[in-house]
Structure 1
Amino acid sequence: MSHLVPRHLNDLHASIADNSDLIYPHTASALHPKAATAEAQDKVPDPTLFASLTQPTRGDSDLPTVGECAVHLELLEVFHKLRINVIRSSALDTTFGVRIEKRAVFQRGWDDAKRDYVMKPGHLKDETWGSRRRQKWSYFLEIAVGRFRVWIGKMDWFLKALGLEDRTRLPYLPPLDVLMVWHAFLLNPRDYDQACRRDSLTYVAALRFPWEAVHAAINRRDWKYTQPKASADWTQERANMEPDLFQFLGWAGKPSNGLSAALARYGVQPKAPIFSLDEALDTQGLNSRDAAFLAMLRQGELDKEANGLLVANVQRQAAFVDKMHAQLWIRSPALEGTLRRAGDRYDKFLRLFKLCPGQRLVPTLDIDLVWHTHQCSAAAYRASVEQRTGVFLNHDDKLGQPVLKVELERTRRPFFVHFGEDYEKCFCWECEMIASVLEDDDANGQQESLSTLTERVRVNVEYHRCVEILRRPPAL
């Protein structure tokens, strides 16, 4: 079709953008009154996208399904919200001892009574307040990594004792902070593989990522993750941990609690070793889970170097989480088409490793999403890529931006030569919707006029934007 020529696609995008006005909450309500209803919001994304999650077989392909990639987008939104909540939480300011530092100064000012200039007391603004509040995320991750180490060890022992016939199924979902650390660790497949071998985590290493259970645990309206009761009970009884770390830290940081002194040290620079706080802690008054929490903090001091690598994994993934949040494909009217095309391009990306042996290949944003989804099932990923490419493909997320830019250009050329397609492209809602409409028209043997096509895309994108705007709580 002539519309598929890249120059024509750019023209289509421009024509739609020219006709699109900025949408605000009051105009969104006027444009699409029903967009604010629960029924409308429950249909974005389309629930049928997740149908493949419950199918007993995966079909002929060993690659991630559209449903799994869609759940991955949901999970990234949950991670994004957790980070924002931790940084903005005033309760965690108290917990981690992050306080406004007031510096008393004397400033020259006019005194009406004395009718003269005098030196008056005052306070300088704390210029470090914002950066120190953001540092809470690092403190939260340090604790999350310690909990992950406890959880993964006890889960592997539990799976071994359980002796399940299906060794790829995770019986209980982890707490959100643990899930986030595990997810980031899986995206460094060589490190994860070596750690599982070193620590004899053979049962955990064989697991498939529990996409279906994760999807069921996420509220798509507010991106809240809730552990199923059975999983929360396992976390408390078997792992001896609190299911919700964010909530627990808000409670534990209150001065009346025995753990507050240990937690408040995080905001003190340089941080005091937890071993020096033993005398200040009323360890006799702690229950078994609080005592285990304190022991985990102490162990974190001993394992600081190794734990730091896992903290860095999550922090590096924050850039990808932010990119996916900015694209917001999970709310896009073209989500199914975006993920289907991404899966096809990822398949070609893997084939390129065999066609260009020894060359470093860098993924585009859509391919990277599918690649990440694939890596989340570690053993299945290894078998799949080795069968397809003949080698184990590590995912190196430590490469700097200058290197990525050069390697992306080197990947673009062979991709176009072998598959006749542009490698880099625009992934905005409009462009993705255009691609989906054109594919549908092509499949039906139709070709719409430019004006008809652009109007269809504009109305569809506008409606979905209204749904998203009206789904969010009012700005404070």
Structure 2
Amino acid sequence: MNEPQPYSTPRSTKRHDITNMGLKDDHLSTPTNPDFPPPSYDPEDLITPLTNLNLDQPSAQQPPSIDQCIAHLKLLTALANLREDISTSESLFGLSDSLTDKLPDQYKQEVLPKIREKRWQVYVFRAVERFRVWWEKCLPSSARMLQQKDLSSHGHFDLITQKGRVINWGADRAPPLDVLMVLHSFMLNPRTFFEDCIRQGKMDVWVTGLPWALINSCIDNSSFDYVATDEARSNFEQMTGFAWDNLHDPSTAKVLCPRGHWIDCPWTDAFLDDPKRPFEQGRGYADRSFTATCAQCNFTTNHEILKLQKFRRDLQALLKDDVPMPGTILSLEGRPEKALKPDLKRHEMFFPNRIIIAGLKTLLIEATDNIQVGKSTVIDIRDAFDRAIRDASLVRKANNTTISSTLLPKEKIAIRRMMSRYWENSSPFALDLVGAVMRQGTFVEKMANIDWIHSPALHSTMARLIKKYQTFFLIMARNPNHVAVPTLDVDLAWHTHQLSPARYYSYSVAKTNIFIDHDDKIEENKLSDAFKWTSRMYQKLTGGEIYSECTCWYCEAIRESHTSTTGRLFSSSDRNAQTALNRLHDNTDVSADPNKTPHISAHNAVKTDSAATRTAAAVKAAQLEASYQKACRRAKKRGRDPPTRDDDYMFSYYAWGYPLYYPGLFYAPYMAPVAITGSMYPCNPSCMSATQGAAGNCCQGTCGAGMAAGGSCGGASGGCAGGSAGKYCE
């Protein structure tokens, strides 16, 4: 066998502080005393826990194993290194730091991290395109895509979640790291990944999950460089037509004109047109304002046209091959839902398919025919559905009834869920994978900052967070109408579990009767409220254990918000929590820096664009301030220093290696990451629309913007016009 080759140029060895690893076992902590310095560790002592991992899959009813979590940390470290390499590569994609030379000093510090972000964004766009081809050509597929009749047949339906064979991931099948990164982010949206595996005949991938043994063998235990054999490199290049290294691929993307011609487009031609809103006017494929004119037919295409082309392909698959539209397969509980009758009558989630076939197809074909003259948009598709569900005779025909034309709640949700696949997404997948990778980048960065991978207490730390994850899952099982928000340590175990999709599905359904989704987008104020609720429930369920083992001002304020003096007198849970909190403050190894501790996991936090949300944010800030001041008073009474929150810390955030300052702007750890500059993306990864009448507010909708979080409306503009649709929309 040929010698393995490194994926990228090796980086210089980084120094890691092993005296402050965030979460530690109490018996392993060491007092900070200059006369008794922390013990030194041989580098080999830190590598030993990473070797000889047992990555056999646990049973379906077991949580992820310690060794799986360690392998996951290795992958996250490799991804963090990749992100750093790409974002700091001077002049990559024509984006040089020197672009700021002519800017006033007041803008330079803000624009430099955006240049790094733009490099990474373009790289991720390229990675997603490479992933699409790899998904289609390198991963096994069933003989045909799922058909509607399969869900009405006992023989087919009962096998859907069991169908598929485990892929033998030999060393010669390893994908490049950037492709693996996209698969990783895709799997961390469990319901949409499940849906796409069902619709596109990729159940072997779903059953197999991430190949932990292969990944572990490809990542060096010291440098964390991703390594692959020559056979793997050759196989990937021959099967996909791409180079092994993302950066060795062509400098242009190939985009299909609606009239059937291929257009070569630059990935980006973005420039600093406005230092306050940089890179908004770029017209490359990865840019927000993408446009490209076909040299053969002179037709100009853009991202909106590409979304319509996607809808057109799905419409044709339904009409010609009986393939259900995306978003119409899974029930509200996230499970494939069998029709009650063989002819699919009144199968609620299938309603969009029925009404299209009953007569709406004529309007939709006409609308998508107009792609070629550039007159249609996705809003025209929404409007066509809106008119159709107001047509009583068409609704009765679709549901094969002569009595009622009233839509059931699930039928309305099915339309919104289907439309969410198109609002801000032109890919063949159920969600925008570029946005998914960018949001996961925040979690990857936080794991790198905490740096458990170099901790001498690695195994005991993983054991503790797995136990904590099981309690977290119990909270979700007992409270199906609430959103539970993980801490970073819980989220590591949760993510690791989801990367074995079939086992996670079995575990989730057995515990809750629901396929629990991992909400990829939650409005930031709701996220904080849900975190407070989760913290309180965890404390009650464990008899007083602290949920977030962190002493930053935010976590202190959250703990203070759900305890009281009376509670400490009469509630054993509150008394025990106070004792645990005192021990936490006495532990000198615990950091108050939220970048170094496992507190709230907020990589899925997003903003909405409504005035009501902005008002709610101000209220949230005031509530946190009151709880913070209460925590300060309690600390002073106990003779402790109050939790620090100086102005520089409050109004700064280290993004892409640079400190960003936002004087006068409240920023908290639960808020959407300011390291994502949404205005430079075709689909803003950190925002969703809640404005009535805006894109995403679908078809007499009854759900709020939170619909995007629960596996229902999944696009960046997933809000609907009229309020809340209940627990499935939260």
TM-score, scaled relative to structure 2: 0.44
Alignment of 1:63-462 (within 5 A): 63-90=63-90, 92-94=92-94, 100=99, 127=108, 128=111, 130-157=113-140, 166-171=165-170, 172-246=173-247, 248=248, 262-263=266-267, 265=269, 269-272=281-284, 275-276=292-293, 305-307=425-427, 309-426=432-549
Equivalent-residue separation in structure 2 for 1:20 and 1:166 (angstroms) = 58
User: What corresponds to 2:43 in structure 1?
Assistant: 41
Q: CA deviation at 1:59?
A: 6.0
Equivalent residues of 2:164, 2:204 under 8 A apart: no
Q: CA deviation at 1:390?
A: 1.6
Equivalent-residue separation in structure 1 for 2:503 and 2:449 (angstroms) = 30
Q: What letter is aligned with 1:366?
A: D
Q: What letter is aligned with 1:83?
A: R
Equivalent residues of 2:306, 2:426 under 8 A apart: no
User: What corresponds to 1:62 in structure 2?
Assistant: 62
Equivalent residues of 2:91, 2:97 under 8 A apart: no
**Distance change >3 Å, CA 160–CA 241, structure 1 → 2:** farther
Specify the SS of the correspondent of 2:138. Answer: helix
**Distance change >3 Å, CA 334–CA 262, structure 1 → 2:** same
Unpaired segments ≥5 residues, structure 2: 1-22, 145-162, 253-262, 272-278, 285-289, 297-304, 311-423, 552-582, 591-730
Specify the SS of the correspondent of 1:216. Answer: helix
> Would you tell me which structure has more helix in proportion to its own residues?
1
Alpha-carbon deviations, 1:358-399, whole Å to 9, x = none?
A: 222111211110000011122221112111222110001312
Q: What letter is aligned with 1:271?
A: R
- The answer on 1:19 being equivalent to 2:33 is yes
Specify the SS of the correspondent of 2:433. Answer: helix
**Distance change >3 Å, CA 130–CA 423, structure 1 → 2:** closer
Equivalent residues of 2:468, 2:490 under 8 A apart: yes
Equivalent residues of 1:342, 1:370 under 8 A apart: yes
**Distance change >3 Å, CA 252–CA 98, structure 1 → 2:** farther
Equivalent-residue separation in structure 2 for 1:232 and 1:50 (angstroms) = 25
Identity, % of aligned positions: 26
Equivalent-residue separation in structure 2 for 1:199 and 1:60 (angstroms) = 24
Alpha-carbon deviations, 1:186-230, whole Å to 9, x = none?
A: 111112122223333222222221111111111232221122333
Q: What letter is aligned with 1:270?
A: G
**Distance change >3 Å, CA 355–CA 134, structure 1 → 2:** closer
Equivalent-residue separation in structure 1 for 2:202 and 2:68 (angstroms) = 25
Alignment: residue pair count? 363
Specify the SS of the correspondent of 1:361. Answer: coil
Alpha-carbon deviations, 1:7-26, whole Å to 9, x = none?
A: xx99x79x945426999xxx
**Distance change >3 Å, CA 381–CA 230, structure 1 → 2:** farther
Q: What letter is aligned with 1:167?
A: V
User: What corresponds to 1:463 in structure 2?
Assistant: none
Equivalent residues of 2:165, 2:208 under 8 A apart: no
User: What corresponds to 1:436 in structure 2?
Assistant: none
Q: What letter is aligned with 1:46?
A: T
**Distance change >3 Å, CA 134–CA 260, structure 1 → 2:** farther
Question: Which deviates more, 302-311 or 131-140?
Answer: 302-311
Higher relative contact order (CA 8 A, sep 6+): 1
Specify the SS of the correspondent of 1:271. Answer: coil
Alpha-carbon deviations, 1:16-55, whole Å to 9, x = none?
A: 45426999xxxx9xx85xx5xxxx42431433665322x5
Equivalent residues of 1:49, 1:66 under 8 A apart: no
Alpha-carbon deviations, 1:175-194, whole Å to 9, x = none?
A: 11111111111111112122
Equivalent residues of 1:217, 1:226 under 8 A apart: yes
Q: What letter is aligned with 1:183?
A: H
Q: CA deviation at 1:165?
A: 9.1
Specify the SS of the correspondent of 1:63. Answer: coil
Equivalent-residue separation in structure 1 for 2:483 and 2:86 (angstroms) = 37
Equivalent-residue separation in structure 2 for 1:363 and 1:376 (angstroms) = 17
RMSD: 4.1
Equivalent residues of 2:61, 2:507 under 8 A apart: no
Unpaired segments ≥5 residues, structure 1: 1-8, 104-122, 254-258, 280-297, 429-449, 459-476
Alpha-carbon deviations, 1:441-468, whole Å to 9, x = none?
A: xxxxxxxxx9xxx99x99xxxxxxxxxx
Q: CA deviation at 1:315?
A: 0.8
User: What corresponds to 2:8 in structure 1?
Assistant: none
**Distance change >3 Å, CA 274–CA 70, structure 1 → 2:** same
